Amino acid sequence: MRIYSWNVNGIRAIAKKNFFSWIDEEKPDILCVQETKLQEADLNEKLKNIDGYYSYFSFAERKGYSGVATYSKVKPVSCSHGFGIEKFDCEGRVLETEFEDFTLLNIYFPNGQKDDERLKYKMDFYDAFLNYANDLVKSGKKLIICGDYNIAHTEMDIKNAKANSDTSGFLPIERQWIDKYIENGYYDTYRYINPEEVQYSWWSYRFKARERNTGWRIDYHFVSKNLIDKVKDAKILTDVTGSDHCPIMVEIE
């Protein structure tokens, strides 16, 4: 099973570009989309009913902001939204779909670059998420957690590490949280399969960053320890355009 994740930076915008043709060509078994910037009233039939897929959406209360969507060829056993914490759930950042062999969390983690208050919100979100994920694992669930994490973990995952050492997304406190996440028994599937590979999944729209490959790897598929032996491949599809992010893929046996 191939599970893809893609921050599309506006699903209505990318729908006018290559979104549907890319799905037709790539044929993901499951596609998790972040930053849909969509309200339920904006959801048209073409986006809701892609041929061969069940679709699920989580919407932010704020218009044109955040939002995630999950498309799956296999109908999940159940679908739920959020962590049960209102200050996070109101931003439409989390979709949880339960399948027979695993639980999939599609998450658009907050960006902390606005100010200190927003950075605190971001770190509180990470801690709430980790507590939630740990409780799922303790209950016997096998987790795949994908999305835009808004953190580059190591210097391998960012083009200009020194220049960005004081930038949210590469702050020590954020990188240390990824360390803690891994210590709690979660695996970065791309790094598990490609320990020495240097690739990025996001490039600024400024300064011709993508042309120069001045990027960050901030999109991930993590899995819980009880699922790592099922991971067969992990890729970053850097050739796919249409957003400031590119899709990523993990293959699960």
Residue 148 annotated among the catalytic residues of the structure: yes
User: Whole-angstrom Cα distance, residue 198 to residue 47?
Assistant: 33
* Among the listed residues 190, 178, 183, the one whose alpha carbon sits nearest the alpha carbon of residue 150: 178
pLDDT number for residue 158: 98
Structurally, the chain folds into a number of domains equal to: 1
Q: Burial of 150 by CB count in 10 Å (0-12 exposed, 13-18 middle, 19+ buried)?
A: buried
Name the residue range of residue 183's domain.
2-252
pLDDT number for residue 114: 84
Which residue numbers in the chain have pLDDT < 50? none
109-117's contacts with Cβ under 8 Å and 24+ in sequence apart are 109/147, 109/148, 109/149, 109/150, 109/151, 110/150, 111/150, 111/168, 111/169, 112/150, 112/168, 112/169, 112/171, 112/174, 113/167, 113/168, 113/169
pTM of the model: 0.97
Specify the CATH number for the domain of residue 16.
3.60.10.10
pLDDT number for residue 191: 98
pLDDT number for residue 87: 97
Which residues lie closer than 8 Å to 198 by C-beta, 6 or more apart?
Answer: 156
Identified catalytic residue from 148, 157, 188, 244: 148
